Amino acid sequence: MADPKGFLTTPRRPRTRRSATARVADWNEVYEGQSLLPIVGGQAGRCMDCGIPFCHDACPLGNLIPDWNDLVYRDDWQAAAARLLATNNFPEFTGRLCPAPCESACVLAIDSDPVSIKNVEITIAERAWQLGHDRPLPPLDPSGHRVAIVGSGPAGLACAQQLTRAGHRTVVYERADRIGGLLRYGIPNFRLEKHYLDRRIEQLRSEGTEFHTGVTVGSDVSAAELRAGCDALVIAVGATRWRELPVPGRELDGVHQAMEYLPLANRVVEGDFGTPAIDAEGKQVVIVGGGDTAADCLGTALRQHAGAVTQLDINPRPGEHRTAGQPWPVYPRTYRMTTSHEEAEALTRTAPQAGADARIFSATTLHLEGDPHGHVTALRLAEAEPADRRPRTGTDQVIPADLVLLALGFHGPDPDSPLLQDLSLDLTDDGTIARDTRFATHHDGVFVAGDAGRGQSLIVWAIAEGRSAAAAVDRYLTGRTALPAPITAADRPLTL
Ligand SMILES: Cc1cc2nc3c(=O)[nH]c(=O)nc-3n(C[C@H](O)[C@H](O)[C@H](O)COP(=O)(O)OP(=O)(O)OC[C@H]3O[C@@H](n4cnc5c(N)ncnc54)[C@H](O)[C@@H]3O)c2cc1C
Ligand code: SF4
């Protein structure tokens, strides 16, 4: 156990963020540059080393959290890195972006502040890079097998790294011009600076993973051809089919899907062009949706100097604390301020109807209004009944809007894509690719990992999927495997 009295004597300390006004002036990470090193030992020392560590169970990767808390407290960074990297290929992504279900399940969280697990994780991850403990691990014995992976998001990358390290020749095909999936073109720089991604990709390359960008499997090369040329094929194409807003006026100019908008902003930061084709500068922006993607649109619009930004969430405003229906250790639905909402509050550039954090809760969109040229000018909304989300009569209001961004979530992969049709893959009722609990489709030697099989999810699940699918592929190729499989394809988060 780290510090027997740590949880009594040391308060939880958050990671300090730059001021909201400084943050929106650039695209850099929202956090202060200074290291967590001076405080992280004390934070890790708050861990009670519980007999049954619920944090470990709540982490889809099965991260050995109490072990590395103890090692950090004892200043043994090499052993802490070894424990962390044993279960997580990319702790620099989860340590920045994971919603940390482990912290909700921490035993301290029953009546106090949980251990700041995510901050300990990111500190171990970054220190491992600095001290050379996160090294390339090229395989010692090539297996002679060749595996193709379609898609380079966290699921495809984790799968590739595991299979390459196990000795298989692994080639990743990506239709975009850069590797990374949603880590590259979905999540903005202010939450993940892309040099962290580039650093990891370079490590995969140096271990022997091959990458081909600008190749759409199904069009540039047929999936059947790819399958014929390798010993196993893993499909990790994500859940790219976005949900629509079926209201009158959807067709107006100025109404865009979040995933049409966010990649352009990321490309500006990459230096591909100066002004994005969809730009919030000076506009009255309304974001329809309540999740991570909507919050990323909000932060992006503020950095593009939007005139006003409002976010509509169809759900009622959650409470600050767990309710009886959301008992510990499940991940509760409580009111959360993202960094983008903090920024909106600081800048007060929101519509008068919205709260200080730019949000209107219990809001359902009735229709979009346009000018004679077919450009959106306003959004009419009503209060949504909590039970069935139908509009409540007499609650209509109009918000001026000349840019409307739709962030309503995703179904699964595109069912009409030639990739799926080439291999005659079945879809589930949820729109994801059908597979058994070991990630295998009905097509011999074809596996599915990540959001393509699970439906829209989280980076930590995508990494767990990639690792587990790699173990399934290794077993398929060699008849046995020493690779870890943290989850089955049927496992679901401990949440309500
Ligand atoms: C805006 C946004 C913000 C998010 N924020 C968070 C967050 O803060 N924390 C968190 O945990 N999760 C977050 N998520 C969810 C997380 O990003 C996903 O769950 C995760 O990226 C899924 O990984 P994946 O590898 O399955 O798919 P993806 O990351 O979607 O990658 C799939 C890749 O496959 C490629 N591809 C598709 N079809 C083909 C083809 N035919 N040929 C070749 N390549 C193809 C795509 O171009 C893409 O690069 C966010 C999602 C979005 C959209
Ligand atoms: S990956 Fe997520 S759930 Fe797992 S230890 Fe890190 S923050 Fe917690």
* Residue located nearest, by CA, to atom 15 of ligand 1: 458
- Annotate 210-222 with b (16+ C-beta within 10 A) or e (fewer): ebbeebbbbeebb
Are 349 and 302 contacting, i.e. CB atoms less than 8 angstroms apart?
A: yes
Instruction: Give, for ligand 2, the residue of 55, 63, 106 to mutate: max count of ligand atoms closer than 8 Å to Cβ.
Output: 63
Residue 496 pLDDT > 50: no
Mean pLDDT value across the chain: 95
Residue 492 pLDDT > 90: no
| Window from 10-24, 300-314, 339-353 with minimum mean pLDDT | 339-353
Residue 113 pLDDT > 80: yes
Q: 393: pLDDT confidence band, cut at 50, 70 and 90? A: very high
Three-class DSSP labels, the chain: CCCCCHHHHCCCCCCCECCHHHHCCCCCCCECCCCCHHHHHHHHCCCCCCCCCHHHHHCCCCCCHHHHHHHHHCCCHHHHHHHHHHHCCCHHHHHHHCCCHHHHCCHHHHCCCCCCHHHHHHHHHHHHHHCCCCCCCCCCCCCCCEEEEECCCHHHHHHHHHHHHCCCEEEEEECCCCCCCHHHHCCCCCCCCHHHHHHHHHHHHHHCCEEEECCCECCCECHHHHHHCCCEEEECCCCCCECCCCCCCCCCECEEEHHHHHHHHHHHHHCCCCCCCCCCECCEEEEECCCHHHHHHHHHHHHCCECEEEEECCCCCCCCCCCCCCCCCCECCCCCCCHHHHHHHHHCCCCCCCCCCCEECCEEEEEEEECCCCEEEEEEEEEECCCCCCECCCCCEEEECCEEEECCCECCCCCCCHHHHHCCCCECCCCCECCCCCCECCCCCEEECCHHHHCCCCHHHHHHHHHHHHHHHHHHHHCCCCCCCCCCCCCCCCEC
Pick the atom of ligand 2 nearest to 118's CA: 7
Distance between Cα 95 and ligand 2 center (Å): 7
- The reply to whether ligand 2 has any atom less than 6 angstroms from the CB of 123 is no
**Alpha-carbon dihedral sign for residues 28, 189, 163, 485:** positive
Q: 494: pLDDT confidence band, cut at 50, 70 and 90? A: low
Average confidence (pLDDT) over 139-158: 97
Average confidence (pLDDT) over 335-350: 89
Terminal alpha carbon distance of the chain: 31
Distance between Cα 362 and ligand 1 center (Å): 28
Q: 34: pLDDT confidence band, cut at 50, 70 and 90? A: confident
Q: Is the pTM of this model over 0.85?
A: yes
Are 449 and 465 contacting, i.e. CB atoms less than 8 angstroms apart?
A: yes
* Residue located nearest, by CA, to atom 26 of ligand 1: 450
Pick the atom of ligand 1 nearest to 218's CA: 41
Q: For the segment 425-482, what is each residue's pLDDT rounded down to a tens digit?
A: 999 999 999 999 999 999 999 999 999 999 999 999 999 999 999 999 999 999 999 9
* Residue located nearest, by CA, to atom 3 of ligand 2: 59
Instruction: Give, for ligand 2, the residue of 460, 461, 463, 494 to mutate: max count of ligand atoms closer than 8 Å to Cβ.
Output: 460
Q: What pLDDT is recorded for position 33? A: 78
Are 41 and 10 contacting, i.e. CB atoms less than 8 angstroms apart?
A: no
Average confidence (pLDDT) over 410-429: 93
Nearest ligand, measured from the Cα of 462: 1
Average confidence (pLDDT) over 99-111: 96
- The reply to whether ligand 2 has any atom less than 6 angstroms from the CB of 100 is yes
Are 146 and 230 contacting, i.e. CB atoms less than 8 angstroms apart?
A: yes
Residue 201 pLDDT > 80: yes
Q: Which residues pair with 341 in a beta bridge?
A: none
Q: For the segment 260-274, what is each residue's pLDDT rounded down to a tens digit?
A: 999 999 999 999 999
Are 259 and 181 contacting, i.e. CB atoms less than 8 angstroms apart?
A: no
* Residue located nearest, by CA, to atom 7 of ligand 2: 100
- The reply to whether ligand 2 has any atom less than 6 angstroms from the CB of 287 is no
Q: What pLDDT is recorded for position 413? A: 94
Distance between Cα 493 and ligand 2 center (Å): 12
Nearest ligand, measured from the Cα of 84: 2
Average confidence (pLDDT) over 168-183: 98
Residue 109 pLDDT > 50: yes
Residue 370 pLDDT > 60: yes
479 Cβ contact partners less than 8 Å away, ≥ 6 residues apart: none
